[in-house]
Amino acid sequence: MRRVLGAIVFGTLSLSAAGLGQVPTRAIDQVIPLSYGINSVRLTHDLGGTVVLAWRENYNAHSFDVLSIYAQGVRDKLVQDARLQIVPLFSRSNGNNEQLFFRSDGGADCRLSDFRLVRMGSGDVAFITADREFGQTYADRQEVTFAYYRLTRNSSDSNFADVGRPKYYFKLDHTQKAKKTYCDVNEAFKAELGLGEDGR
C-alpha cells in the first residue's frame, strides 16, 4: 500500500517573520511519495531526512497512520556526533505541546484528521494538518481547521541555542478555518487547498 503526499509551491512564500504566507494555490509535477516504511526525503536543500510512515491496525474501522520525521547527519558547534535526530511538532508557540509523531484519525465513514507534507519555494518542507470535531458521529459534517507548521532551525551561530528545543522542529505558524463544513478532512484538503490524497 502506498500513500503519496504532494510537494507544492506556495504563492508568495518566504521564511520571514510574516510566516508561511498564503495558502498553497497550485500543485506542480514534483511529488514526494511516502510508502509505508522508511522514506528518504530532503528536509532542506542541504539536510537529508528520514520519514517513517506506519499503519496502526485496529481490526475495526478505526485503524490509522502514524508519521514521524528525522534529520540525518546534523552537526554544529553544539552537536558534534551527527546522530539521527527526531524532528517534532510544536503545536503551541510556548512549546508546552510537543508531538514526537503525528497520527491520523477517523472511521469507516470519514477521516477526522490527516496531514500533508509539502515543499515550499525555499526548498524547505512544511507540514499541514487538517482536523475536524467528532460531532454526533463520524459521518457528521463539521468545521475543519488547517494548521500550518514551518520547519524551524535552532540557532547554532553561538553557544546560546534555544535551550529545550531540538536542532530542527516544526513550529506552528498559523491556523485557518475551512470555508465550508466537511465529513472527511481529505475532501477539505482537495476542495480548499487543491491537495488530494495523491498530492494533486
Percent of the chain at pLDDT > 90 equals: 37
Task: List pLDDT tens digits, range 67-92.
Answer: 999 998 767 666 666 778 999 999 86
Given a cut of 90, is residue 142 above it in pLDDT? yes
pTM: 0.79
- pLDDT for position 194: 81
Q: How far, in Å, CA of 5 to CA of 69, rounded?
A: 14
- pLDDT for position 13: 31
